[in-house]
Structure 1
Amino acid sequence: MKKITLLLISLCWLQVSFAQEITKQEKGYFNLTELGYFAVNNDYETQITPSSFSVIYDGAYAISLRNINGWFVTNKLSVGLGVGLENYTRKSSSAIYDNTFQIFLDARYYLKNKVNTFFAYADVGSSVAISDVIEKGPMFNLGLGYKLKMTKRTALVGSLGFIDQTIKEEAPVYKNRYYGFAFKVGLLL
């Protein structure tokens, strides 16, 4: 509890110490909900013998639902903590899929202090085990997007980026990696 309180005080101090005239950008707390579609490749590596591995290359796609809660540190920089659900389905067989639950850190840099502006983002985190056969694995996501202000407190965001998700599974699977393009749209409150 002390660490969380210290983190919140630090974020508030950063907000005050880096305060600029905020004219057309959000400030303080924000909530972002995103729906995404990922067009990805899949490398599925299995262990055949103790010293030999087999790698299968396949295409896949994923549907994603994410929610990020965070804070505008300055009028151009925001940081947040996100959670998400993702369903990776292989193109070769719709019966083969991996469901993941994500926990990640999100950072965004808005290029201009305007109502409508481009931004760059980075997500770093991990999937959390939600079934007996899937274990956790690292995830990162980098990209560019655009924020379009709809009302005084609401903006529509769209982004295009690169996602890389590795899922460690039970033997004989050594590694299951999904990587490719991520298309997302969201509502910023």
Structure 2
Amino acid sequence: MPTNYIPFKETNYFSDFICDYLAEKPELKEFYHRFPKLENFEAQIKEKSNSFQSEARNHITKVLKHQYKNLNTSDLTADNIESLNLENTFTITTGHQLNLFTGPLYFLYKIISTINLTKQLKTAYPEYNFVPMYWMASEDHDFEEINYFNFKGKKIQWNSEQTGAVGHFNTEGLDEVFDVIS
């Protein structure tokens, strides 16, 4: 199946900094440990093998089993949780900071990409297990960072006096934001 790619820079969506990172510009190397390419995971696996304790694995497994105890889960989910106890299992984690009107497609894209990466890694490193994890940043307290979006050149903002974890906010007042864009 033919595939065409548009370079990130040509989308005019990403900042120069992000485009330079994606282009692996040498001057940015000091800001990250390893660029996330398939061939770089071997060194990452070795490093994490030496730093992750079995008690942490047991704790993660225990917490996940508790969180899933009242849910109907697939056998694969149960197997993934159980495999976290094994020293040759690693998590591949993605997450998302809450924000206004990005829509569910971006969440799904991140989740599917992470699942696909675990499959690629299992093929490249068959002696290891890889478990996809999704972290929802619902405990984020930085409302000012996420209370707006840009639409047709205009900053659209949700003003609220609420404080604390944004994942617990009441959605009162969001209808006014929606009215601006509809």
Category of TM-score, reference length = shorter chain: under 0.3
Higher relative contact order (CA 8 A, sep 6+): 1
Higher helix share: 2
Larger Rg: 2
Q: TM-score, normalised by structure 2?
A: 0.20
Q: TM-score, normalised by structure 1?
A: 0.20
